């Protein structure tokens, strides 16, 4: 059962690398934001899986909760900043 979690964690790192293409290539700023948001939500799950592998799930659940809140607030703030096209001056 433990090797299953290790295999899933490795598979998840591969899944996390895929949106990097959109972060680099993204034509508009919002595509990059979307890629970064996608990576953020996926690392949340990776944190939980690693927490289980390290045996100390209680600590990692708090880290994952704080990380998901920060990720959510961060994407809200950046979205609000970019909504007014002040970058056109």
Partner 1 sequence: MTEIQNILTIILIVAGSFFMLVGSIGVVRLPDFFTRSHATSKSDTLGIMLIILGLMVYEGFCLNSLKLLIIFVFVAIANPVGAHALARAALSFGIKPWFKKEDKKEE
Distance, in Å, from the CA atom of 9 to the CA atom of 60, rounded to the nearest integer, reads 15
Q: Is 10 in the site for partner 1 (CB under 8 A)?
A: no
Phi-psi category of residue 8: left, alpha or beta, with phi > 0 → left and psi -120 to 50 → alpha:
alpha
* DSSP character at residue 88: G
Applying CB under 8 A, among 2, 28, 55, 89 the residue interacting with partner 1 is 28
Applying CB under 8 A, among 19, 53, 55, 89 the residue interacting with partner 1 is 19
What are the tokens at 38? 């996608």
Q: Is 63 in the site for partner 1 (CB under 8 A)?
A: no
Cβ neighbors of 78 (< 8 A, separation 6 or more) are 33
Q: Which residues in this chain contact partner 1 in the complex, by CB under 8 A? A: 1, 4, 8, 11-12, 15-16, 18-19, 21-22, 28, 30-31, 33-35, 37-38, 41-42, 44-45, 48-49, 52, 57-58, 61-62, 64-65, 68-69, 71-72, 75-76, 79-80, 82-85
């Amino acid at each position: 059962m433990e090797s299953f979690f290790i295999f899933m964690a490795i598979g998840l790192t591969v899944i996390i690398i895929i949106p990097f293409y959109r972060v680099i290539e993204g034509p508009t700023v919002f595509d990059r934001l979307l890629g970064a948001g996608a990576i953020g939500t996926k690392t949340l799950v990776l944190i939980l899986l690693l927490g289980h592998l390290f045996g100390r799930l209680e600590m990692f659940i708090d880290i994952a909760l704080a990380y998901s809140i920060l990720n959510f607030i961060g994407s809200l703030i950046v979205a609000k900043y970019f909504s007014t096209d002040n970058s056109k001056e």
